[in-house]
Structure formats: structure tokens, C-alpha cells
Structure 1
Amino acid sequence: MSGLEKALFNLKFTTKQLNRQAQKAGKDEQAERAKLKKALSQGHQDVARIHAQSAISKQNQKLNLLRLGSRVDSVASRVQTAVTMRQVTSSMIGVTKGMDSAMKTMDLEKISAVMDRFETQFEDLDVATGYYENATSSATAVGTPQEDVDRLMSQVADEAGIEMSQEMDAQRVPSAANLEEVKEDGLGERLRALRS
């Protein structure tokens, strides 16, 4: 086994380990979501907030591990391409020697067979290059932690059919009905000011 093949093996092994760790972080995230749901149903907002933060932390850890695994896999694809290129190069040398002998004799069957081998080598190279191009992926943007915590708490509460406490409602944007009440109170105060 050459140095490149050993490196390829180690890279693939590392990718598998990172994916396993990401799966574990995903399971931990689900456990924290379950604890969040339980704390919300019992009315413990502070405990629920801690579990929401932990769930988001585990989710971010999972995403970071998946991104890193993707990057390692991308490097592994490049190494795989290098290994394939070396194999293709050695095959090409054999094909070229075969072509030289076929061209000297001008045997059409030999020339056709050499050209078939040549085309097969290029198809293999195209497949390896296509695999590398498909291995790359883009990263997703992550919002601010506080917004994520509030969103996750609301989502879990909605799923569980739990009413959020007044504390959470005060942090949210006022509803249209509340804005209408504020507007009417302002109009009433201005009317009283005009009368006096």
C-alpha cells in the first residue's frame, strides 16, 4: 500500500468517525428537546431555556461535525483522484506502448482494441472527476443564539400544545389587537386633552 493509499484510508476512516459523532450529537439534541418539552409542560421557563440552549449547542455541534466530515471527504476525493490518476497514468503508458506497436504493423484490429482501452481510461477519469465535483457541499448560515433559543422554545411549545408564560409573550412583538388597543388609548388621551 502506497503513502497515498494509506492517506486515503485514514481520511475515509476519519470521515466515518466524524459522521458517527455527528449522529451522537443529533441524538443528544433530541434528548435535550425532550427535556425542553417536559420543562415547558411543567411551567419551568428557566429550566426550559437551559435545555433549549443545550439543544441548540448540540445542533451546532452536529452541523460543525458534518461540515468538517464533508471537508475531510472532499480531501479524500482529491486523494482518490490522485490515486486514480496514477493508475490511469500507468495504464496510459501501457496503452501508448500498445498503440506504438499497433501503428507499426498497421493492424486495424489492434489499433481498434488500443483505442477502446484508451477511451475506457478516459471514462474512468471522468467518473473520478465527477465524484469529486459532487462531493463538495455548501455550508448553511446560523442565526443568533437568542433568536434560535426563543424560536425553538416556541416551536416545542406549539408542538406540545403548551401556552407560553407571560414572560415569553412580553419579549415577543405585540400582536395587531394589542397595537389597536394602544392606538385607541392614545386617541382617548388626545381627546381628553382637547376637551380640557
Structure 2
Amino acid sequence: MEKKQSVKSQKNEKTQKDKLKKAIEQGNMDGARIYAQNAIREKNQSLNYLRLASRVDAVASRVETAIRMKSVTGSMASIVKSMEKSMRDMDLEKITHVMDQFERQFEDLDVQSVYVENAMNQTTTLSTPAEQVDLLISQVADEHGLALGMQMGSVPSEKVQHAETDELTERLNRLKQKN
């Protein structure tokens, strides 16, 4: 929903810029000023909708993580009960088996947490190469005679993020096959 509103605001911004251009061509500076303000407002509104969409995606990921954590917690509770029984019987073989299960649950939890964290990071990271982003910013600034007041940093490359995601996905799949 928010993404659709962002696109709508972007279209409205373009419309306002077109009107601004016509007002300048006609020498209507008061009208041009109004259209410029409208265009800026639409752009800001578009960005705000995108920020909101990103936050909603992040919250959805956190809710999904909480649901997964609940299932892991249930598994841990049953393992702890098994541990208590084994401790009463003092069967070292059973205790070792239960402890191995407990450690596997923690490993699974770590892999799932890292996977979800990376997925959340990717929802808020630009998928456009940093060089293209920097170039576009420079072009727009040059077109309008603006000086860049900030240093443009680089975003980690998509290949590195993709490789990390592939590795985590592979580990998660192996864990699923074990269980």
C-alpha cells in the first residue's frame, strides 16, 4: 500500500515539475514558485511512504522471527524435561544425547537468526549498484547547479551480500534436512 502511494507521489512530483517548467517559460514566477513547492512536497511524501514501507517490512520480519523463536523455545522446553529425567536416572548416555540435541537447537537458532537478520538488512539496502547511485546524484546536482554537501560513501557490493545469503541459505537447508 505504502509503495503504491510512493509511486503516486512520484507521478504527482513529475506533473508539478512539468507545470513548473511551463510557468517559467510563460514568465509566471509566482506560479513557478508554487509548483516548485508542490513538487518538493510530493517528493518528500514519496520518500516518507518508502520509509514507512521499509519499516513495515522490518516489523513483519521481526514478527516472523518471534514466531520461529516460539517454536524453538517449545523444543528447548521438551529437551529440558528430557534432561531432568535423564539426570534423575543418571544415565550418562542419555544425558549426552540430550545435551547434543540441546546444542543442535542452539546452532539452528543461530543460523535462523543470522538468516533473518540478513533478510531484514536486504530489505532496507539498495539493490542498485553504488556507482550508479553516485553518478545519478552527481548528474542531478550538475544539472541544477547544486554543490554536494556530503561525501558519498559506498554501499557493500551486491555480490558480497548475495554470497553471504547463499551460504546462510545452504546452512539452513542442511539443518532442515537433519531434522
TM-score under structure 1 normalisation?
0.48
Q: Which has the larger radius of gyration?
A: 1
Count residues in correspondence: 126
Q: Name the % identity.
A: 40
1:120 corresponds to 2:108: yes
1:1-196 equivalent positions in 2, closer than 5 A: 17-96=1-80, 104=91, 106=93, 114=101, 115-132=103-120
1:95 touches 1:118 (CA, 8 Å); kept in 2? no
Q: Deviations over 1:27-57 (max 9, x none)?
A: 1111211221222233322222221111011
1:25 touches 1:62 (CA, 8 Å); kept in 2? yes
Deviation of residue 25 (structure 1)? Answer: 0.5
User: How has the CA–CA distance of structure 1 residues 112 and 87 changed in structure 2, closer, same or farther, with 3 Å as cutoff?
Assistant: closer
RMSD: 3.8
Q: Deviations over 1:104-124 (max 9, x none)?
A: 462799569734454123321
Gaps of 5+ in 1: 1-16, 138-154, 161-196
Aligned twin of 1:183:
none
CA distance in 1, matches of 2:64, 2:21: 46
The alignment partner of 1:43 has SS state of coil
Runs of 4+ in structure 1 deviating by more than 4 angstroms, as ranges, are 94-103, 107-113, 129-137
CA distance in 2, matches of 1:67, 1:133: 14
User: How has the CA–CA distance of structure 1 residues 131 and 92 changed in structure 2, closer, same or farther, with 3 Å as cutoff?
Assistant: farther
User: How has the CA–CA distance of structure 1 residues 133 and 99 changed in structure 2, closer, same or farther, with 3 Å as cutoff?
Assistant: farther
CA distance in 1, matches of 2:119, 2:56: 14
Deviation of residue 86 (structure 1)? Answer: 0.8
User: How has the CA–CA distance of structure 1 residues 101 and 136 changed in structure 2, closer, same or farther, with 3 Å as cutoff?
Assistant: farther
User: How has the CA–CA distance of structure 1 residues 85 and 73 changed in structure 2, closer, same or farther, with 3 Å as cutoff?
Assistant: same
1:29 touches 1:59 (CA, 8 Å); kept in 2? yes
CA distance in 2, matches of 1:100, 1:129: 33
User: How has the CA–CA distance of structure 1 residues 132 and 50 changed in structure 2, closer, same or farther, with 3 Å as cutoff?
Assistant: same
The alignment partner of 1:106 has SS state of helix
CA distance in 2, matches of 1:116, 1:62: 45
